[in-house]
A and B are shown apart, each in its own frame.
Chain A
């Protein structure tokens, strides 16, 4: 079991969460916790419920039973906006930019709940420095960008809300192998600024090599919960996720 002592209160927590889509039971008694500043990874095969986990955390999907806890407060009946305001956000699966809006408008929407003009301008500059390409394309419709550029905008948009926890749903999906490496470096860089990262990945090797801890989800159940190091060494995991015999 992972070592969760002396980390303080988790920012985000699941207590016995069950989520259904209609009659279909997706998440089954899931417990997890994310502490300030850590980097954790959620692994699992297709349709195991990874995206559903993130959506339930954010309130885009309502759990049937169990508690979603934010800074010690049960937020089951609070809307997504409430949670975003308190520092959670997500880079969604497939990036999901507003394609008909300009790159700049996408970034501004990331800061929708903020009112500090100066801070927003400052963060925008920071994102432009981080991704000079995004600055060049600021007034272009985001739907016209390449996949890699869209990934940058999606990250930028998420960062514009000044999150404490950044949820990422398969950030390396659809990127060229070279970009995947750059992308992971970027995630590490964001993490080093003190932002906790909760990353869903298919690329278990890569994800665990930068994460502190990890969970493995199988048909909606947490089957493994350990440090990244132990998970990487786990023969069962190596067999199912790293394609080793």
Chain B
């Protein structure tokens, strides 16, 4: 078992003390940061704030800023959650982490780029035909991602079925490099910009309930959400609900859960194990495909390495939620996105750390370390089965 938790009754070794100090230290850092945040919201020139920030004290976070961060966190977190599902499902049925999954996401984002430029040339993109063009783009990207995931399983992983899990794991890193370089070969190493989205999607916002005005006369709202982020959250939520229904309520989903638990007995039930594994890759690929388009909507550009960081973060989300647990992957993604958006200003800034927003990636990986230190099975993780799962 991968557990940082000491066996009961065993004496503490140096390593145990180190882990204990890490655990306590990290949690204290976060708690003090949060307390400092509350204090500087009440009085930006309190003793702690002037100690950390100098005499003029800390900057208060306005409601508008705060809710903006929450929405940003939710939209990116939802995207991480969608990708995380693929990691988690494949781990569930095959017991290894498919590190090439981030590349499936990247290829979908690339497909979105190609489709958007084609539609733009045809004059559909910035016109009344945008919505059908967008829907079509989502469908095509999802199909492409599904195909990539299925081919990957067939070519790279199926021949390795039954070998120790380290082998497909390492293969997946190879597959990841292969796909990245294939994309560079086809499209070049530069960043590709999507055709500009219509303003109503990219720039406009939905404002709910004006609560006041800022000093410069800009109205402030209880909720002010950019349409594109709202769209991302809605699409992700619908996809997750669809996946949940598929896994929990359909016969194929039930077969998938059975295969994840015991392949031999699943085959005794008459389930075609290989086909179920293919379905798992396909569904995970489809989710990554949708996430790829959501990435395009949010960031409007894609590059061959686009899959790397979101992929690693989604993997982190899967671990945070408990690998193999689908609800956990979704929750892990959303909490990770939220933490990434909020922690720089709510934990790091009160400590007086300069440019905290540059440290978003550090926040994610610190969170990963924290989860591994405190609850290695993930927040919602069940104890892994005895079926040779290190």
Residues of A in contact with B (beta carbons under 8 Å apart): 58, 60, 79-81, 84-85, 89-90, 92, 96, 98-101, 105, 108-110, 112-113, 157, 161
Contacts and interface: CB of A to CB of B under 8 A. Distances in A.
Contacts of A58: 268
16 contacts: A58-B268, A81-B267, A81-B270, A81-B272, A84-B270, A90-B268, A92-B268, A96-B264, A99-B261, A100-B257, A100-B261, A101-B254, A101-B261, A109-B258, A110-B269, A161-B269
A79 B274 CA distance: 12
A105 B265 contact: no
Given A80-B268, A98-B258, A113-B270, 4 more contacts: A84-B268, A84-B269, A96-B265, A98-B262
Ranked 10 nearest A-B pairs via Cβ: A113-B270, A81-B270, A84-B270, A112-B269, A109-B269, A80-B267, A96-B265, A112-B270, A98-B261, A98-B258
A170 B158 CA distance: 34
B273 to A, nearest CB: 9
A60 B267 contact: yes
B374 interface: no
Contacts of A89: 268
Contacts, number: 57
Contacts of A100: 257, 261, 382
A32 to B, nearest CB: 20
Nearest to A110: B269
Interface string B229-270: 000000000000000000000010011011001101111111
A109 B261 CA distance: 13
B223 interface: no
B183 to A, nearest CB: 38
A114 to B, nearest CB: 9
B324 to A, nearest CB: 10
B254 A108 contact: yes
B212 to A, nearest CB: 50
B255 A109 contact: yes
A98 B272 contact: no
Contacts of A96: 262, 264-265
Nearest to B261: A98
Contact of A79 (B255, B267, B382): B267
A81 B264 contact: no
A143 to B, nearest CB: 10
Pick the most buried of B254, B255, B265, B271: most chain A CB atoms within 10 A of its CB: B265
Nearest to B248: A105
Contacts of B262: 96, 98
B98 to A, nearest CB: 21
A109 B269 CA distance: 6
A103 B363 CA distance: 42
Interface in B197-231: none
Contacts of A92: 265, 268
